[in-house]
Amino acid sequence: MVRLMVVSVTSLAIALTSCQVSTSPETVATVGGRNAPTMMRAPWNGSYTLYKVFGSGKKSQRTAVQSVHLKKDDALGFRARETGQVAVAGDLEVPVSDGTYQWVMQADPGQPDPLATTILVIVIVVVVIGVAVIAVALYSQHVADHLFSP
Give percent of the chain above pLDDT 90. 53
14-30 average pLDDT score: 82
* Residues recorded for the chain: 150
Question: With 90 as the cut, is the pLDDT of residue 55 above it?
Answer: no
Say what the pLDDT of residue 121 is.
77
Residue 12's closest CA among 123, 88, 94, 95?
123
- pTM of the complete model beyond 0.75: no
Across 86-100, average pLDDT: 96
Instruction: Tell me the C-alpha distance between 50 and 66, whole Å.
Output: 5
| pLDDT for the residue numbered 80 | 94
Three-state DSSP at 113 gives: coil
Sign (positive/negative) of CA torsion 32, 84, 71, 118? negative
